Each structure stands twice: as structure tokens, then as C-alpha cells.
Amino acid sequence: MPPAKLNAQAMARRAAAAIAPGDVVAIDDGLPTLVPDATSASLGAWFLGNSGMLNDIPLSQADAAAVIRGGYVNLAVVSAAQVDTTGSFAGQHPPGNAVDLAAGAHRVIALLPRSDDVGASNIVPALSSTPDGYRCVDTIITDAAVIDVADADLTLAELAPGWTADDVRAITAADLSISPTLREMDFTPSNGAPPSKIYPDGPSALADLPDGATVFIDGFGGPGGMAHYLLISLRDRGSRGLTIVSNTAGIARVVSFGTPPGRTAIDHSVLIENGQVAKAIASFPVSPSVSRPSEFELAYRRGEVDLELVPQGTLAERLRAGGAGIHAFYTHTGAGTLIAEGKETRNINGRNYVLEYGLLADFAIIRAHKADTNGNLVYRGTSRNFNAVMAPSARVTIAEVDEIVAPGQLDPEEIVTPGPFVQRIVQRPQGFTGYE
């Protein structure tokens, strides 16, 4: 009499035990859809379903795909029909999201269907169809065992209660090594909570911003949508040799729309006059007024800073591409102009296109209206501008917000930037304005 096999809920519980606090977990159709209910809410995990829902936040399929390709998925739980010894797998209802998850997720767990439903081993020396995921599975969970995949070798790591290694080998077509730490499956849910994203002030949020960093700075032309408090905090921190990526290189001060008499608007100029900037990548780097040059223009004329000029729409698209795992793209913008000099051009369906590359940064300092403590952001009016495309494309995104609210206080339909894109949140001090 063979030992009892795990039911679907137990398999889901074992998968859920692999989730770390704050993980983004992509959930394939089928058995993996049981995993969220098997996970403790205190873990603060984010579940991305095939429908594009990120917890209760609806994403377009293009945005959901960007989350996956952009490297934001810590763990994917896929429905596999077969897995081979190299960790390639065939999906149960291919291709679905399996191909994207295989390519984009940091770690892949393959949940196999219950063997009674299949009638044959689905852990095999070679797949009987072409793979949906190529050499990507890290862990296989079946109704009898947990098997680790490494270096084209399968290692039996855990057994369902009552099972022996020989029982598992008897129903497995592929060869299995036995882990020296072979043990009974542990269904203990992960514990803990993700670290808080709330920082007490600007200096603490920027304390690890190194010299030579690439920094996205939001804003358009005037003072709106710019993280003024974080800009001042970055000036005070004094990091040098920065590459700043921004729509302008600081023109709010010289344009001075709406600036109260006797004061100056805070913009990138505070960094430039402090000697912190080595290069700007921008679409509108100079003052609109010849008689009132910006700090960046003056520094450029002195030969102190470099400039890469990018058309505004191309800048936005390059920023989106970086965070969305698109390494390069063809755009018609700039074809036949100076912008295309030195770049690859290509005729596609009778039209000339320029090859442009995705942009990534070490830090982004952005400005939002409200955040919840999970890092979900809403903007207000035009201050959304570059914030929303910058947030996913930096390793550390810091949001300066007017108000921080509890989870559930923001309407999920209104959330523009989901929390996984935001690592740190700083409340703009009461009374702080965009002017010095």
C-alpha cells in the first residue's frame, strides 16, 4: 500500500512556505491559484495573477508583463505538465504566462499536477514536447516530494509524510540524487513582515546614495511634480559625479513661473551649483531665455558637465523600457535628424526607425501626492508626468509624498504606481515649499 499523496491544498501550502516577506509572487493558472490563500497576510506578499491583478490593483496586460520582464517577480509558481533534469518545463496550458515567467522571475517553483490525475511520471529525462520554460525551474513540488534542480541534476530534498526515497524513485522517470539533508516536508508558513518603506526624513532615505550614481529626477518645466525636499536632501548629502536623467536639467529657477517675489524655485540647479553633477541626460536642458541661462548651461559652457540630448517622448520610452525589461526598441522619432547620428537606423515597412536603449538608474527621486505604507502611489494632475515611468526603472525609488495612508485607503483603480516599484517613502515636511 503506497503512502497517501498530498492533496492540492497541502501542495499549495508547501509552495507558500517558500515565500519571503514582501516577495512579489507570480501565480500561474491551475494549482498555483491556491497559493495566496495558503499564505499569511502578515507576510506582505504581492500576488500577480495571469489576469493582470497585482493583489487588488488592476494592471493592464502590458504593465503586468513589464513587472515580470522587469525583474520584479521574486518567485513564480508555474503549472508544469513535465519538468526535465535541466529544469526546462512544459506548461500545463501553454504558453500563457509560463514563457514570460521563465524568463523574468528570479526563482521558479514548478507545481506538478497530482500524479493520480496524470498516471505517469512527469519528472522526466527529456520533455516529450518543446519547453515553455528553458532551464529555469529551481524547485519542483509534487504530491510526494520536493526536488531541487541544480546543474542539470535533480536532488530529492523533502518527502511527504510517510514517504521514503525509494517510494519517490519508484514513480519518477528521471534519476534522483538524494540530498544529505533529506527531511520530511515542512509546511510551516513563512513568518515575518517586510521592512518598513517609511523613512523619517530625506537624509536617511538618501544615506547610501554613492558618488557616481545615476539618478532619475522627476519634474517637467516648472516646479510641479518635483521632489524638492529630496533634491535639497541630496544637495546636503553631497554625492558627486552624478549622472542625472530628467526632462530638463533644471529650468524651473530661471523660468520662475509662479515663484513668490524674493525667492527662487528649487530644481536641479541646487546640485549643479554644488558641483555634484557630471552628466545630464535630458530633453530640455537649456533655459528658454538666452538672457537667463540655467545653472546647467553655465556649467556646460565651462566644460564641467556632459550632456546627452534625448527627445522627450524617446526619453519617456527609454525610461519605460528600462523598467519593463525591454533592452532596446525602434522608434521613428528622430530618424533623419541629428538625434539619429551614430545610432543604428532600420527601415521597417517603408519607414525609418532609430534604435534606442532602455535606461536604468541606481536611484529615482520622485514626487507623488499620496502613498500607502505598501508603497502604492497616486499622483495629482500633471505632476504624474515622468514619475510613473521612472519609478519602475531605478533600483531604489524614493517617493516624496504629501501624505502617507494605511493600506486600503487608496482606491485600487486609482493607484498609478504599485508598491513593488517603490522602495522608500518620505513625507514632505509640513510647510516645505518648492522655493528657497
Partner 1 sequence: MTFTKLYDTAAAAVADVHNGATVLIGGVSRTGEPTALLAALHSHGAAGLTIVCDFSGWDGSDSIVKLAADGRIARIISPNPYPSASGDNLREVWNSAGVAIESVPQGTLAERLRAAGAGIGGVFVPVGLGTRFADGRETRTINGVECILESPLRADFALVRAASADTLGNLAYQGAQRGWNAVMATAARITITQADTVGEPGAIGPELVITPGIYVNRVVHIPPTGEQG
From CA 194, how far away is CA 419, in angstroms rounded?
12
Is 236 near partner 1 (CB under 8 A)? Answer: no
CB nearer to partner 1: give 17 or 326: 326
Q: Are strands 145-150 and 139-141 parallel, antiparallel or unpaired?
A: antiparallel
Q: How far is CA 402 from the centre of its chain?
A: 24
Q: Show the cell assigned to 104.
A: 523574468
> 255, 266 in Cβ contact below 8 A?
no
Q: Which stretch binds partner 1 (CB under 8 A): 101-109, 147-155, 234-242, 264-272?
A: 101-109
Is 330 near partner 1 (CB under 8 A)? Answer: yes
Is 103 near partner 1 (CB under 8 A)? Answer: yes
Q: Which stretch binds partner 1 (CB under 8 A): 48-56, 137-145, 245-253, 262-270?
A: 48-56
Q: Which of 5, 17, 40, 52 binds partner 1 (CB under 8 A)?
A: 52
Instruction: Kindly write down the DSSP assignment for every residue of 387-420, as one continuous string.
Output: HHHHGGGEEEEEEEEEEEE-TT-S-TTT-SB-GG
CB nearer to partner 1: give 122 or 276: 122
Q: Please enumerate in sequence order all residues whose Cβ is within 8 A of that of 409, keeping only pairs 6 or more positions apart, or say none.
A: 372
State whether residue 316 is helix, strand or coil.
helix
Is 395 near partner 1 (CB under 8 A)? Answer: no
Instruction: Kindly write down the DSSP assignment for every residue of 112-156, as one continuous string.
Output: PPPHHHH-S--EESS-SS--SB-S---EEE-SSEEEEEETTEEEE
Number of residues that bind partner 1 (CB under 8 A): 58
From CA 254, how far away is CA 260, in angstroms rounded?
13
Is 372 near partner 1 (CB under 8 A)? Answer: no
Q: State the virtual CA torsion across 313, 420, 59, 402 in degrees, nearest 10.
A: -70
Q: How far is the CB of 361 from partner 1 (least distance, A)?
A: 14
Q: Show the cell assigned to 79.
A: 503549472
CB nearer to partner 1: give 300 or 353: 353
Across the chain, which distance is largest between two alpha carbons, in Å?
91
Spell out, one character per residue from 11 to 40, where the chain touches partner 1: x when CB under 8 A holds, - when not. ------------------xx----------
Is 194 near partner 1 (CB under 8 A)? Answer: no
Is 51 near partner 1 (CB under 8 A)? Answer: yes
The pair phi, psi for residue 381, each rounded to 5°, is: 60, -140
Exposure of 310 by Cβ count < 10 A (0-12 exposed, 13-18 middle, 19+ buried)? buried
Is 348 near partner 1 (CB under 8 A)? Answer: yes
Is 93 near partner 1 (CB under 8 A)? Answer: yes
DSSP 265: B
Q: Which of 6, 272, 378, 394 binds partner 1 (CB under 8 A)?
A: 378
Is 100 near partner 1 (CB under 8 A)? Answer: yes
From CA 110, how far away is CA 125, in angstroms rounded?
16
The sign of the CA dihedral 182, 184, 185, 191 is: negative
Q: Which stretch binds partner 1 (CB under 8 A): 114-122, 125-133, 277-285, 302-310?
A: 125-133
Q: How far is the CB of 149 from partner 1 (least distance, A)?
A: 15
Is 232 near partner 1 (CB under 8 A)? Answer: no
Is 380 near partner 1 (CB under 8 A)? Answer: yes
Is 77 near partner 1 (CB under 8 A)? Answer: no
The sign of the CA dihedral 410, 414, 419, 425 is: negative
DSSP 30: S
Q: Which of 183, 327, 343, 395 binds partner 1 (CB under 8 A)?
A: 327
CB nearer to partner 1: give 81 or 160: 81
Q: Which stretch binds partner 1 (CB under 8 A): 94-102, 150-158, 232-240, 389-397?
A: 94-102
Residues 139-158 touching partner 1, rule: CB under 8 A, are none
Binding site for partner 1 (CB under 8 A): 29-30, 49-53, 58-62, 64-65, 68-69, 79, 88, 92-100, 102-104, 130-135, 317, 321, 324-332, 346, 348, 351, 353, 357, 378-381, 413-414
